[in-house]
Structures are given as structure tokens and as C-alpha cells.
């Protein structure tokens, strides 16, 4: 990683931390290891099934944490009116890679305010990272209700879900066959466009069941609340996650210049329910290591000043020169020209004259 | 950030047919048609930039964002499952993924079926749906040789006309899935450049409708 990319990642983590603190989120620090059993029981929730495991002295199987959410939800509060808001900045381990991730989780007795706040914070997080950004918004409750109304077999439901994720209208049409009502609904989800009220209106026109209408109304209300952020929001029903966990709004965030989503999250009430808890939950993760993919880092300079000396210069003189340069930027003192760095100013001491 | 639409085309006949369709849709690129050894071809008038890549690499270029859109066979999408949007069935390059074997082949139901293929994931998914125990022999070419030499009982491969199979006393026993060329798009590119990519998709859609 270049110095510039590292600085950007650190700066982003710090700014995000301040943002989440301003909204009452407290830091959550988890241990590097967690009982392997927790991840096995909720394997479908994880983005990868490549979990690195270790045995401790007593033979217990532990996992190097592949995820933060499960540990937070495991201890979610269940008392009426109690909501726990936490943020984290952790390294997680998936597919034998260390991934720097920051994010937040809001668990407990959630209402519509907490849902809207989490989505708003997702938009604000993207904006903090700089450049053009978009948050693609969908609703798993709506997708589940539509698929349920289509009378698909479990296998067909999975195929339809895959087609929605891929914006694949042609295979959806084949799947629906003579089921015109199913095709009308699914086609609307694929082709409704991304522009808020217009897209919602188009979907509204083809929905028939109360469950579909209720989920769409929830999404419409959320869109209205967030309308000030409309320039960074898109409705997009290709954002879909596992039907077994996500229950409400789901979203993915993108930054221009990075070819994959840098933020991912949603409302996942079914996870605490699966763990036998009554809580509701919403959260998201920001994948800070992806920031280094942004174009432009390759053109950045690594150092402000390089002080090149020939070994004969008095150490006191070198120290004074380095201290002086460090007041205004980064400095490297060396005896040979560094071949792996780029710099703004080069100062030669001892063997030659100072070069700006 | 430029406004170019970067298009990855598969080298070969399919790519040439796909380019012809793109040209008829208003996305021509004269420099691409010249006999040049360049790797990237641009037409600033319609804001497109083309490059030829190995057919099996198109999805990688698009998934990783080096290309905004690409043309790729459904076989590649099924085999590698890239995270891309599959926006349109172009209705060209039609063929089928099929199980083929020697003319006197009888399924040895009491033993593991040996299957030679270039497409292990498609093969695994197909036979797991049938609960059939198989041994996949992953080959990179000349798949038809495998059953003839006794390396495998059957093959799973793309069949276009069936001529190669017939000339080698092989025949199709089951169709796995029909295949054709698809227009795919990078998810982030689509998110930021929805209008431009949708316009390209709609133009191609009209050509597909005309051809039907």
C-alpha cells in the first residue's frame, strides 16, 4: 500500500468514527477470536465460508473473526425501548485475507427512526469518503413478498432472486412462462429505473397483495424522509441478500472510480430471531481497504522532501535540516536516491548543492 | 473521469458478430475495422472504447471494472458466476451445453460416472441436481477424445452443430442448458452511468427484436 493510500484509509476511519460518535454510537472492540460454533450456526450470514480456525489449550475450536455483526447481535438487548448503538473499526479475516472494515450496528427495540438514521449514516459515510457516491437502496421484505405472491417453487424462487440480482429480465421472463402476473411484477422490479417516486409509482401499479403494499409503503416512507439526499440515492432492486436473514431495507454503496461496492448493509431482524432473541437489527460495513483501488493514488507523491547526503555531513546539521523539513511535510534522510519513492523536493547535503 | 463506455469484446467470430450488431446500433468504431495491431480502439464521436480479450476473460474485465460492459457467452457466466449485471440475451452465438458419449454408451448407474469437461462448475451443479455421483476430469481442450480413449464415460461440453461429435461416433444424450451471447455490465459502472448503459442496452434490444 502506498503512503497516500494508507493515509487515506486512516483518515477515513477517523472521520467515520467521529461521524458515528456524533449520532450517539459508542465504540465496540471485539476480541480477535470467537467460538467457531457461532459462525458455523450462522454460516449463511457470512460473506465467505473460508474461516480460519485454531484450537485453544482446552481443545475449544476458535475462529479468527470473519465478521463483527454476529458477535454484536449475540449480546443484543431485549428489553422494550432499549436500543444499543455501536460502531467498530476492526480487521476481519476472510478467504485468508485481512480486511479492514469499519461500520455500525443498531440492535434492540428499533423503530422507523433508527432505520432511517442508519441509512442516512450510510449516505453520510459515503460522502465523507469523497468524490461522487451512490447508495443503491432496496427492500428485502418487498422482494420476499413479490416472490411469495408468484407461487414459485423454492428452486424457482432462488433462480428469480439470482435474476433480480443480475437485472436479468430475459431469463426472468422464461422462468415466469405463462404466469403473466409474476412477470409483470418482476419486470417492474428490474426495469422501474432508479429515480425515487417515479420508480416507486411504477412498482406500486403492479403490486396486488397486502404484504407487497406494506413493504412498498415502508420503502416509500423511508425515501421521503431521505429526500434531501436524493442526489446520492438510487432505488435498485438488484440489491438483494439472503432471504433467510434480511427482512427490510438493504443497501450497497459505491464510490466513483472503485469497481465494487465499498459499503454494504441492511435490516436483518431474522438473525437475532434465529439466535432466539426478540431484537431487531440494522447495520452496515464500510470496506476501507477498497479505497486504495481508487484511480489517482498512483500519481500521488510519497514524500515532500528527500535529503540526500554523502555520509560526511555532521549529524547535527542533518537533524536540523530534517526537523526543518518535517515542519511543513514528510521527509526522508538517506545516502542514496530512493528508487521506490517519488518526492516533491530533493536537497543534497555534503556532496553537492541543494536542489529544489 | 472520462465519459467513455469501455466495451470488452470476445476475440473470434462471436465478438465480430457482436461488434456488427453494436455498429448497427450506432456504436461503430472505424479504427476497430482497420487491420491494426493496436489493442484499444476508440471512437470519440459516440464515446466508445473497444478492446478484444480472450472470451473467457470478458467477465473478469467487466467484474473488475476495466470494462463497463462486455459481450460474453452464457457458458462463461454459468461457470465463473461473476458479480455482474446480465442485461440482455443477444440471441446470437446460440448453442447448447450437453452431455455426450459414445454411441454405445450405457449409464453405469452402479458406479461413479466419469465426466470429462472444461466446465467443472456447470457439470457439478447439473449432476448434483440429479443426485448422481460423478468424478470430474477437468480438461482444457479436445474433450471429445476422453470417452473415445476410455478416459471418461461422458463429456459435458458445448455443442453447436454436432458435426465433431458425429464424425467421432459420439452423440448427445442430455441437454444441460441452452447457451447464447449476453450483454453484461459492471455493477458500479451501471450505478454511475445508468443512462448511457441503458441507452446502449435499448439500442441492442431493438436489433435483437428485429432479428427475431
CA–CA separation, B56 vs B94, rounded Å? 16
Residues A41 and A105 in one domain: yes
Residues of A in contact with B83 (CB under 8 A): 260
Asked if residue B77 has pLDDT above 90, the reply is: yes
Threshold 0.95, pTM exceeds: no
Residues A189 and A338 in one domain: no
Residues A160 and A192 in one domain: yes
Question: A182-204 burial, b if ≥16 CB within 10 A, otherwise e?
Answer: bbebbbbbbebebebeebbebbb
Q: What is the pLDDT confidence band of residue A59, given thresholds at 50, 70 and 90?
A: confident
Do residues A19 and A125 lie in contact, with contact meaning Cβ atoms separated by under 8 Å? yes
Q: Max Cα separation, chain B?
A: 63
Q: What is the pLDDT confidence band of residue A22, given thresholds at 50, 70 and 90?
A: very high
When mean pLDDT is compared over A22-31, A34-43, A312-321, B182-191, the highest value belongs to B182-191
CATH number of the domain where residue A192 is located: 3.30.930.10
CB contact B86 to A (< 8 Å): yes
Q: What is the pLDDT confidence band of residue A283, given thresholds at 50, 70 and 90?
A: very high
In DSSP notation, A290-323 reads GGGGSTTGGGS-SEEEEEEE-S-S-HHHHHHHHH
Q: What is the pLDDT confidence band of residue A356, given thresholds at 50, 70 and 90?
A: very low
CA–CA separation, A284 vs A121, rounded Å? 9
Residue of B nearest to A232 (CA): B192
Whole-number pLDDT of residue B21: 96
Residues A273 and A315 in one domain: no
Q: What is the mean pLDDT of chain A?
A: 87
Whole-number pLDDT of residue A47: 65
What's the average model confidence in pLDDT over A18-23? Answer: 97
Residues A252 and A350 in one domain: no
Question: A130-164 burial, b if ≥16 CB within 10 A, otherwise e?
Answer: beebbbbbbbbbbbbbbbebbebeeebbebbbbbb
CA–CA separation, A124 vs B48, rounded Å? 33
Q: What is the pLDDT confidence band of residue B60, given thresholds at 50, 70 and 90?
A: very high
Residue A46 is placed in which grid cell? 457470512
Do residues A121 and A17 lie in contact, with contact meaning Cβ atoms separated by under 8 Å? no
Q: What is the pLDDT confidence band of residue A217, given thresholds at 50, 70 and 90?
A: very high
CA–CA separation, B177 vs B201, rounded Å? 24
**Is the CB of B188 less than 8 angstroms away from the CB of A234?**
no
Whole-number pLDDT of residue A243: 66
Angle between helical axes of A169-176 and A154-165 (0-180°, round to 10): 160
What's the average model confidence in pLDDT over A57-70? Answer: 80
Do residues B40 and B51 lie in contact, with contact meaning Cβ atoms separated by under 8 Å? yes
Substitution target from B86, B195, B205 for chain A, most A beta carbons within 10 A: B86
Residues A143 and A262 in one domain: yes
CA–CA separation, A285 vs A262, rounded Å? 8
Asked if residue A229 has pLDDT above 50, the reply is: yes
**Is the CB of B86 less than 8 angstroms away from the CB of A167?**
yes
> Which has the minimum average pLDDT: A137-151, A291-305, B190-204?
A291-305
Helices of type H across A23-139: 36-41, 69-74, 112-128
Residues A14 and A140 in one domain: yes
**Is the CB of A170 less than 8 angstroms away from the CB of B89?**
yes
What's the average model confidence in pLDDT over A180-196? Answer: 90
Q: What is the mean pLDDT of chain B?
A: 94
**Is the CB of B85 less than 8 angstroms away from the CB of A134?**
no
Residues A73 and A123 in one domain: yes
Report the domain count for chain A: 2
Q: How far is B16 from chain A (nearest CA, A)?
A: 23
Residues A317 and A207 in one domain: no
Residue whose C-alpha cell is 474485465: B61
Which of A146, A140, A150, A142 has its CA nearest to residue A176? A150
CA–CA separation, B138 vs B122, rounded Å? 12
Residues of A in contact with B66 (CB under 8 A): 259
Interface predicted TM-score (ipTM) of this complex, two decimals: 0.88
Residues A293 and A335 in one domain: no
3-state secondary structure of A125: helix
Q: Whole domain around residue A341: which residue ranges?
A: 301-355
Percent of chain A clearing pLDDT 90 (strictly above):
55
What's the average model confidence in pLDDT over B147-154? Answer: 96
Whole-number pLDDT of residue B2: 55
Helices of type H across B34-117: 58-63, 74-80
Residues of A in contact with B188 (CB under 8 A): 254, 256, 258-261
Residues A180 and A200 in one domain: yes
Asked if residue B1 has pLDDT above 80, the reply is: no
Residues of B in contact with A260 (CB under 8 A): 65, 83, 187-188
Burial degree of B124 (CB within 10 A; 0-12, 13-18, 19+): middle
Residues A236 and A305 in one domain: no
* pLDDT tens track for A243-266: 678 889 999 999 999 999 999 999
- By Cβ distance, the residue of A134, A171, A260 closest to B192 is A134
Amino acid at each position: 500500500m502506498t503512503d497516500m493510500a494508507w493515509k487515506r484509509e486512516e483518515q477515513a476511519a477517523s472521520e467515520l468514527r467521529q461521524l458515528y460518535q456524533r449520532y450517539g454510537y459508542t465504540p465496540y472492540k471485539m476480541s480477535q477470536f470467537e467460538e467457531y460454533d457461532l459462525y458455523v450456526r450462522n454460516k449463511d450470514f457470512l460473506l465467505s465460508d473460508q474461516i480460519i480456525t485454531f484450537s485453544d489449550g482446552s481443545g475449544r475450536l476458535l475462529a479468527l473473526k470473519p465478521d463483527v455483526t454476529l458477535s454484536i447481535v449475540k449480546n443484543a438487548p431485549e428489553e422494550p425501548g432499549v436500543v444499543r448503538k455501536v460502531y467498530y473499526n476492526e480487521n476481519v479475516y476472510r478467504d485468508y485475507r485481512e480486511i479492514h472494515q469499519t461500520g455500525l450496528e443498531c440492535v434492540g427495540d428499533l423503530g422507523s427512526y433508527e432505520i432511517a438514521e442508519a441509512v442516512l449514516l450510510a449516505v453520510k459515510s459515503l460522502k465523507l469518503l469523497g468524490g461522487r457516491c451512490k447508495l443503491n437502496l432496496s427492500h428485502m421484505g418487498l422482494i420476499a413478498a413479490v416472490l411469495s405472491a408468484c407461487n414459485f417453487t423454492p428452486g424457482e424462487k432462488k433462480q428469480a432472486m439470482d435474476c433480480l440480482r443480475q437485472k436479468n429480465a430475459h431469463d426472468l421472463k422464461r422462468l415466469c412462462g405463462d404466469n403473466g402476473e409474476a412477470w409483470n411484477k418482476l419486470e417492474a422490479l428490474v426495469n422501474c429505473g432508479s429515480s425515487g417516486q417515479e420508480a416507486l409509482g411504477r412498482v406500486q401499479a403492479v403490486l396486488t397483495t397486502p404484504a407487497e403494499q406494506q413493504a412498498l409503503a415502508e420503502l416509500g416512507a423511508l425515501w421521503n424522509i431521505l429526500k434531501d439526499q436524493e442526489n446520492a440515492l438510487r432505488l435498485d432492486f438488484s440489491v438483494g441478500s439472503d432471504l433467510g436473514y434480511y427482512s427490510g431495507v438493504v443497501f450497497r454503496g459505491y464510490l466513483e472510480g472503485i469497481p465494487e461496492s465499498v459499503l454494504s448493509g441492511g435490516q436483518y431482524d431474522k438473525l437475532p430471531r434465529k439466535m432466539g432473541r426478540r431484537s431487531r437489527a440494522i447495520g452496515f460495513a464500510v470496506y476501507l481497504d477498497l479505497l486504495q483501488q481508487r484511480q489517482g493514488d498512483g500519481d500521488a507523491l510519497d514524500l515532500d522532501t528527500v535529503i540526500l547526503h554523502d555520509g560526511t555531513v555532521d549529524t547535527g546539521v542533518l537533524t536540523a535540516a530534517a526537523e526543518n523539513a518535517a515542519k511543513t511535510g514528510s521527509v526522508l534522510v538517506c545516502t542514496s536516491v530512493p528508487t521506490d519513492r517519488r518526492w516533491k523536493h530533493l536537497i543534497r547535503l555534503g556532496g553537492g548543492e541543494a536542489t529544489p | 473521469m472520462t465519459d467513455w463506455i469501455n466495451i470488452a469484446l470476445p476475440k473470434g467470430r462471436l465478438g465480430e458478430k457482436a461488434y456488427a450488431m453494436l455498429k448497427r446500433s450506432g456504436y461503430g468504431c472505424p479504427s476497430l475495422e482497420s487491420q491494426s495491431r493496436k489493442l484499444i480502439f476508440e471512437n470519440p464521436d459516440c464515446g466508445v472504447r473497444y478492446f478484444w480479450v480472450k472470451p473467457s476473460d470478458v467477465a473478469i474485465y467487466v467484474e473488475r471494472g476495466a470494462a463497463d460492459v462486455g459481450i460474453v457467452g452464457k457458458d462463461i457466466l454459468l461457470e465463473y458466476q461473476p458479480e455482474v449485471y446480465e442485461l440482455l440475451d443477444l440471441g446470437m452465438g446460440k448453442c447448447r451445453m450437453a452431455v455426450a458419449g459414445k454411441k454405445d454408451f450405457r449409464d453405469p448407474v452402479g458406479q461413479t460416472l466419469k465426466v470429462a469437461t472444461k466446465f467443472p462448475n456447470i457439470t457439478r451443479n447439473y449432476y448434483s441436481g440429479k443426485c448422481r455421483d460423478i468424478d470430474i476430469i477437468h480438461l482444457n481442450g479436445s474433450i471429445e477424445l476422453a470417452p473415445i480413449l476410455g478416459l471418461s464415460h461422458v463429456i459435458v461440453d458445448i455443442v453447436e452443430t454436432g458435426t465433431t461429435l458425429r464424425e467421432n461416433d459420439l452423440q448427445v444424450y442430455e441437454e444441460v442448458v441452452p447457451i447464447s451471447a449476453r450483454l453484461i455490465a459492471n455493477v458500479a459502472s451501471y450505478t454511475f452511468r445508468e443512462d448511457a448503459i441503458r441507452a446502449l442496452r435499448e439500442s441492442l434490444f431493438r436489433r435483437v427484436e428485429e432479428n427475431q
